[in-house]
């Protein structure tokens, strides 16, 4: 069953269907923040329909309606059921207003590809490169739920007309696989709202989801860095779903606040931000958000990926517990450096990470597309040995939806 949400947008704009599992109306995860910015921008520049591939509650539904989002909820189903439901939408609800473009939100959702119409532009917002994430996770003996090699990921992404990357090093990698014409760079946009820098530092912290890489980084920080910087009147404050992984915390100077309603509530209460993540891929949204709020930041080289030019100007990069604690102490003890970081970070965001600048390539590609006459489904995947059940299903579903 589908649930209709929101109101119809202007017909003169291109009809774009965004397919996502991301709970973009919520706060506390980088994935959600990225999808939210995509939704908000496409609402301005296109006739947007969001296809949400999970369940929603009554409160969720009200939040989505309040955003004015037109959408369809497919519920928590198997990949094959999701594809069947999308086929039904294409054959019924979308016949009067056939989509000009489909934007698949995250490569993991590429199992929809075999049932996307050939006539439409097909884009995928990768968020990160799975193969890079896989390699990095393995180096820390950490799990990766959708492991792929570079060859497998390149074959998968090549099915799409355009591949969106969140940072330029990953875009260059995809261009080496597929060619420059296939790639689009779309950094994560944020609004610069710098905090006021106080004379004393009493609150260090971060906001993070309960992703295992976040939990690993914070656990490493608490065990190996926090004892080196601990001092009277200084406390560590942690916001977001990551609290679920630290129910064993009994330290009086470490506080877990859980999920909050507004992200500003977190950053306005921090003097210094940390992002101790050690593996993953893509661009770390919490790093960008810290810069946007002008909160001086200490992170790992991995947490600063794509933002290395701001090292020692708006953030410190530290790869060891000793370097991390030294960088934190330097910020704690030097108000002047904190003010400089505040100014440079928010200025960088204001100039380079506004929504129009970040998403203009995506909007241009959508507007330039002319619907092809072929109304069949997209080309099937080549025979690949993909490791995820979802990806294997994506390859096999073609047989039941082959165009004449």
Residue 267 CA: distances (Å) to CA of 215, 258, 324:
19, 14, 20
pLDDT in the model for residue 120: 95
Please give the Cα distance from 122 to 28 (Å, whole number): 29
Average pLDDT on 234-251 reads: 92
Architecture of domain 203-353 in this structure: 3-Layer(aba) Sandwich (3.40)
> pLDDT of 183-202, one tens digit each?
999 999 988 889 899 999 99
- Centre a 10 Å sphere on the Cβ of residue 95 and count the other Cβ atoms it contains: 9
pLDDT in the model for residue 135: 87
Please give the Cα distance from 313 to 296 (Å, whole number): 10
> pLDDT of 60-117, one tens digit each?
888 888 889 988 999 999 999 999 899 988 888 888 889 999 999 999 999 999 999 9
Length of the chain: 404
| Confidence category of residue 136, pLDDT binned at 50, 70, 90 | confident
Place of tokens 């009200």: 62
Helix, strand and coil in the chain, % to nearest 5: 45, 15, 40
The structure tokens listed for 338 are 């904190």
pLDDT in the model for residue 258: 85
With H, G, I as helix, E, B as strand and everything else as coil, classify residue 72.
Answer: strand
Q: Which one-letter DSSP state was computed for residue 377?
A: B
pLDDT of 328 higher than 80:
yes
pLDDT of 173 higher than 80:
yes
> pLDDT of 32-76, one tens digit each?
889 999 999 999 999 999 999 999 988 888 888 888 998 899 999
pLDDT in the model for residue 375: 52
pLDDT of 379 higher than 60:
no
- How open is the CA angle 47-2-16, to the nearest 5 degrees? 20
At the fourth CATH level, the homologous superfamily of domain 3-189+357-400 is Glycogen Phosphorylase B; (3.40.50.2000)
pLDDT in the model for residue 276: 94
The reported pTM is 0.81
Helical spans, DSSP H, in 106-167: 130-139, 150-157
Task: Tell me the average pLDDT of the chain.
Answer: 86
User: Are 3-189+357-400 and 203-353 in the same CATH fold?
Assistant: yes
Answer yes or no: are the C-beta atoms of 157 and 126 closer than 8 Å. Answer: yes
| Confidence category of residue 389, pLDDT binned at 50, 70, 90 | very low
Please give the Cα distance from 90 to 84 (Å, whole number): 10
- Greatest distance between any 2 Cα atoms in the chain: 73
The domains of the chain are located at 3-189+357-400, 203-353
SS3 track for 283-327: CCHHHHHHHHCCCCEEECCCCCCCCHHHECCCEEECCCHHHHHHH
| Confidence category of residue 9, pLDDT binned at 50, 70, 90 | very low
């Amino acid at each position: 069953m589908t649930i209709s949400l929101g109101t119809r947008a202007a017909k003169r704009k291109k009809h774009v269907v965004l397919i996502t599992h991301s709970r973009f109306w919520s706060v506390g995860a980088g994935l959600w923040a990225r999808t939210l910015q995509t939704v908000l921008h496409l609402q301005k520049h296109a006739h947007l329909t969001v296809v949400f591939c999970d369940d929603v509650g009554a409160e969720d539904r009200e939040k989505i309606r309040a955003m004015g989002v037109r959408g369809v909820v497919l519920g928590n189903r198997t990949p094959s059921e999701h594809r069947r439901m999308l086929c039904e939408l294409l054959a019924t609800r979308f016949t009067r207003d056939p989509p000009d473009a489909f934007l698949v939100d995250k490569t993991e959702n590429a199992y929809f590809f075999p049932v996307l119409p050939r006539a439409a532009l097909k884009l995928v917002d990768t968020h990160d490169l799975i193969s890079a994430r896989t390699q990095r996770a393995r180096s820390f003996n950490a799990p990766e739920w959708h492991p792929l090699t570079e060859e497998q990921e390149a074959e998968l992404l090549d099915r799409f007309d355009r591949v969106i990357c969140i940072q330029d090093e990953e875009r260059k990698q995809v261009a080496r696989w597929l060619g420059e014409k296939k790639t689009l760079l779309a950094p994560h946009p944020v609004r610069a709202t710098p905090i006021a820098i106080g004379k004393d530092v009493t609150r260090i912290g971060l906001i993070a989801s309960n992703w295992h890489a976040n939990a690993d980084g914070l656990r490493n920080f608490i065990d190996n860095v926090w004892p080196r910087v601990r001092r009277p009147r200084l406390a560590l404050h942690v916001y977001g779903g990551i609290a679920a992984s630290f129910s064993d915390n009994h330290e009086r100077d470490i506080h877990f606040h859980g999920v909050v309603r507004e992200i500003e509530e977190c950053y306005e209460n921090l003097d210094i931000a940390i992002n101790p993540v050690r593996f993953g891929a893509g661009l770390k949204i919490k790093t960008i958000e810290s810069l946007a709020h002008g909160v001086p930041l200490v992170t790992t080289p991995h947490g600063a990926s794509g933002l290395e030019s701001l090292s020692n100007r708006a953030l410190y990069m530290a790869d060891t517990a000793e370097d991390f604690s030294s960088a934190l102490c330097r910020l704690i003890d030097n108000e002047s450096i904190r003010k400089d970081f505040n100014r440079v970070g928010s200025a960088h965001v204001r100039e380079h990470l506004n929504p129009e600048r970040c998403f203009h390539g995506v909007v241009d590609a959508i507007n330039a597309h002319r619907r092809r006459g072929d109304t069949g489904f997209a080309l099937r995947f080549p025979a690949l040995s993909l490791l995820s059940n979802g990806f294997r299903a994506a390859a096999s579903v073609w047989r039941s939806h082959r165009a004449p």
